Amino acid sequence: MIPPIANRFVAGDSPAEALEHVRRLNERDVKAIVNLLGEHYDERDPVAADAAEYRRLVADIAGSRLEACISVKPSQLGLDIGEDVFRSELTAIVNAAAEHGVFVWIDMEDHTTTDATLDAFETVAREQGGGVGICVQANLKRTRADVRHLADVPGKVRFVKGAYDPPADVAYADGARIDQEYRTLLEYAFEHYDGGIGVGSHDPAMLEYATALHERTGTAFEIQMLMGVREDAQYELADEYEVWQYVPYGERWKSYFYRRVMERRENLRFALRAVLTG
Ligand code: FAD
């Protein structure tokens, strides 16, 4: 059972609860990126269990005709155990999703995993010719080069500021510098990408920048935001743009919830208010 402190950000324990949340979003023209919570497994059993659940989930999404896709984490699919484990679980999920016509996003975790994640993405994206997407983090100094490389790889790219706390030699820490980098990356993507752009941000300034780029270049894009964050804005934006909500579910909510609280104090206030008001 998800405790009241986290249920603003997490759709429930089970796939059925997550898909019920997705159905309500779809009624308001918001699509969903469903994520089973879980990360940094050092044993094969939870990796196999989550991978199997994702394969069932893509069948359920297709069967229920919901506007939804999935997003997986490399360390949930065994990257901490070995790159081969991650690649084989990812490939099996992507193949199952392709059979059902469901799109698969790959989240980006801390900077030590970037190379392995990008390499695995590129392999499955080239095998499938699309149908998969990768996330890149504007706070990493390497990302400009990665984004240039990804222009020639099939699939979509989600741009985020970065939720982890990388060391200064590899990352920018200053918020204004990260915003500037985010804008530069978007500019490149809108000018060079044709596979699809995900703008994963709640920041009105970044969203405005993206919509202006869209008007200037005509390049299609989608807005992606998290469950529980600026939901009214999500519904409003959906009148004009394609909006996807990232919908996490499952019992392993603690690390995800911690990242939301660390990136914004207000998220803790919302959560505590939910506890106090029952
Ligand atoms: P911030 O810089 O946090 O905030 C800027 C402005 O946005 C604020 O001043 C405010 O105006 C507005 N805002 C932000 N939060 C709120 C709020 N709660 N209420 C009201 N206004 C708010 N990170 C990764 O490292 N890897 C991933 O794979 C990844 N996937 C993501 C997927 C999606 C769909 C999204 C939306 C984010 C993802 N992130 C991921 C997280 C991301 O890196 C950021 O940590 C997170 O989105 C916060 O940055 P921001 O751009 O939203 O704005």
Q: Answer whether CATH 3.40.640.10 is correct for domain 15-276.
A: no
When pLDDT is averaged across residues 57-66 and rounded to a whole number, the result is: 97
ipTM of this predicted structure: 0.98
The answer to whether 158 is a known catalytic residue is yes
The answer to whether 177 is a known catalytic residue is no
In testing the pocket of ligand 1, which one of 103, 110, 160, 257 has its CB within 8 Å of the most ligand atoms?
A: 160
Tell me, using a 6 A CB cutoff, whether residue 270 lines ligand 1: no
**This prediction's pTM:** 0.96
Using one digit for the tens of pLDDT, what is the confidence trace for 77-109? 999 999 999 999 999 999 999 999 999 999 999
Do β-strands 242-249 and 222-226 pair in parallel, antiparallel, or remain unpaired? Answer: parallel
Using one digit for the tens of pLDDT, what is the confidence trace for 115-132? 999 999 999 999 999 999
Distance CA 225, CA 201 (A): 6
When pLDDT is averaged across residues 220-241 and rounded to a whole number, the result is: 97
Tell me, using a 6 A CB cutoff, whether residue 222 lines ligand 1: no
- Domain ranges, ordered by start, for the chain: 15-276
Helix (H), strand (E) at residue 116:
helix 114-128
* pLDDT at residue 86 in the model: 98
Tell me, using a 6 A CB cutoff, whether residue 161 lines ligand 1: yes
Tell me, using a 6 A CB cutoff, whether residue 224 lines ligand 1: yes
* pLDDT at residue 278 in the model: 59
Distance CA 183, CA 207 (A): 10
* pLDDT at residue 261 in the model: 82
